[in-house]
Amino acid sequence: MSLFQNILVIIILIVGAGFLALTEIALAGARKVKLKILAESGDDRAQKVLDIQEHSADFFAASQIGLNAVAILGGIIGEPAFRPMFLNLLDNFYHGPWSENISFGLSFTLVTSLFILFADLMPKRLAMIAPEKIAVAVVNPIQIYIKICKPLSWLINAIANLLFRLFKVNTIRDDNITFDDISAVMEAGAQAGVLQKQEHHFIENVFELEERTVPSSMTTRENIVFFTLTESEDSIRQKLAEYPFSKFLVCNETIDQVIGYVDAKDILVRILNNQSINQLNESTIRTVLTVPDTLTLSELLDRFRSTKEKFAVVINEYAWVVGVITISDIMITVMGDWVTPIEEEQQIIKRDNNSWLIDGSTPIEDLKHALDIDDMPDDGHYETVAGFIMYKLRKVPRPADVVEFENFKFEVVDVDHYKIDQLLVTRTLELTETLISSED
């Protein structure tokens, strides 16, 4: 063949190899989530790409057959085609025993460079830019190519599968998506500006509902306001005026003898209608949902949904009331300050960049967010900051007791009847200096 014919054949081989390299990276890099969205919108080609990904062994075998065949043919045709040209050029400068070897090296380098640049590097980089679009665009011709290579692909895959079984290699791909995967995607979206910081925070909190238990968001026992069956009208009026709650427990004599709950709206209606409220009865008392303190917030949401209730009493293994929780408490956990009343006392007050005043009843998850701590030690043994301090001290805390963890010092500031009311948390000097130097 003439030089022109050889060059034409090499161009065809480069185009073919480039197409296979482009397709290989596009099909491998195309994300299933985006492909499913395209398929659901009516693009049949996206479903074909998903099918090829599901049975990728046939495609990769066919792709490697084509790539290797083209590379071999390129070497066979390209090197003899360009060697005479380089030999003639070299004769103008050099005559000697190394002429053949030098022209061979130059020819080999040229052909190899052309294949690397146009048949490998550039197609793969293009495929990485928009893998889903390219995969959808090339799926129809690549399906025909796979069928052409099917017999040889089957033989190669059979040998490969035999070797995998011989060496006990698991070839099943794990496509399960974990919270860490989703979190990484959200983080990337936040950095790219697709998700706002507040939206990112909301989504993370929603996923935490699977891990956070009911005690982390409930109103604790000592803060529950309840009525008794013999409650006087003046006492009921006073509690309604003093505490802005929409629902109140009704108990027999003590808080652990729960009968039900009353809606503040029902009592206010009776007051407006000049009806007596000195005795709570069946017309005002409603059946209350009772849940164990071991439930997660996600499980409690399911209970609220199935029972159509929005208020629940939380009990422990001894059937003692440990708190109450509403659907609004769960929403506050997710939305944070966006739904927290302004007048509500803050549990975490930031004094400066390195110190915080923290309420002892603050949930551990809120503490981790505020201090940017990834994990707390043995956090299955406690729900609040006070529980963490007691767990670390191994005793009933007293004022001025100190716990150090993760370059933070937790100092007990106030204790009321063995209950930790407030702590002072300070970042230690070592971490502070590290943060300052990193900012510089």
CATH number for position 325: 3.10.580.10
Phi, psi of 218, rounded to the nearest 5 degrees: -80, 165
User: Quick check: is 343 in a domain?
Assistant: no
Phi, psi of 179, rounded to the nearest 5 degrees: -60, -35
User: Quick check: is 317 in a domain?
Assistant: yes
The least confident of 63-67, 258-262, 411-415, 416-420 is 416-420
Q: Are residues 13 and 107 in the same domain?
A: yes
Name the residue with higher pLDDT: 312 or 209.
312
Q: Alpha carbon of 39 to those of 32, 35, 132, 240, 358: distances in Å?
A: 10, 6, 11, 57, 50
Name the residue with higher pLDDT: 64 or 437.
64
The mean pLDDT of 229-248, rounded to a whole number, is: 87
Q: Tell me the pLDDT tens digit for each residue of 317-350.
A: 999 999 999 998 888 877 765 554 444 456 788 8
Interatomic CA distance for residues 404 and 412, integer angstroms? 12
Of the chain, the percentage scoring pLDDT greater than 90 comes to: 39
- For the chain, the domain total comes to 4
Contact 89, 110 (CB under 8 A): no
Q: How far is CA 171 from the centre of its chain?
A: 26
**pLDDT of amino acid 198:** 65
The least confident of 30-34, 243-247, 270-274, 296-300 is 270-274
Q: Which of 38-52, 93-107, 164-178, 424-438 has the highest mean pLDDT?
A: 38-52
User: Quick check: is 372 in a domain?
Assistant: yes
The least confident of 55-64, 112-121, 229-238, 342-351 is 342-351
- Give the number of other Cβ atoms within 10 Å of residue 54's Cβ: 10
**pLDDT of amino acid 436:** 46
Asked whether the predicted pLDDT for residue 133 surpasses 50, the reply is yes
Contact 324, 391 (CB under 8 A): no
Interatomic CA distance for residues 95 and 111, integer angstroms? 24
Q: Tell me the pLDDT tens digit for each residue of 380-394.
A: 788 889 999 999 999
Q: In whole numbers, what is the pLDDT of the chain averaged over residues?
A: 85
Of the chain, the percentage scoring pLDDT greater than 70 comes to: 88
The mean pLDDT of 220-243, rounded to a whole number, is: 88
Q: Are residues 144 and 52 in the same domain?
A: yes
Quick one: CA torsion of 354, 357, 362, 366, rounded to 10 degrees?
-30
Q: Are residues 104 and 190 in the same domain?
A: no
Give Cβ neighbours of residue 439 (< 8 Å, ≥ 6 apart): none
The mean pLDDT of 416-438, rounded to a whole number, is: 71
Task: Report residue 197's pLDDT band, with 50, 70 and 90 as the boundaries.
Answer: low
Q: Beta 311-315 vs 355-359: how paired, if at all?
A: unpaired
Write the CATH number for 433. Answer: 3.30.465.10
- Give the number of other Cβ atoms within 10 Å of residue 222's Cβ: 11
**pLDDT of amino acid 434:** 47
Task: Report residue 278's pLDDT band, with 50, 70 and 90 as the boundaries.
Answer: low
Contact 428, 408 (CB under 8 A): yes
Q: Are residues 334 and 354 in the same domain?
A: no
User: Quick check: is 171 in a domain?
Assistant: no
Q: Tell me the pLDDT tens digit for each residue of 170-196.
A: 877 666 776 667 767 777 766 766 666
Asked whether the predicted pLDDT for residue 52 surpasses 60, the reply is yes
Using the 3D structure, point to which of 338, 359, 388 is the last residue of a domain.
338
Interatomic CA distance for residues 76 and 404, integer angstroms? 71
Asked whether the predicted pLDDT for residue 154 surpasses 70, the reply is yes
Full domain range(s) for residue 73: 3-166
Q: Are residues 133 and 116 in the same domain?
A: yes
Q: How far apart are the first and last CA of the chain?
A: 67
Asked whether the predicted pLDDT for residue 125 surpasses 70, the reply is yes
- Give the number of other Cβ atoms within 10 Å of residue 129's Cβ: 10
Q: Are residues 13 and 162 in the same domain?
A: yes
Q: Are residues 188 and 281 in the same domain?
A: no
Taking alpha carbons only, the member of 217, 250, 225, 226 closest to residue 325 is 217
**pLDDT of amino acid 330:** 87
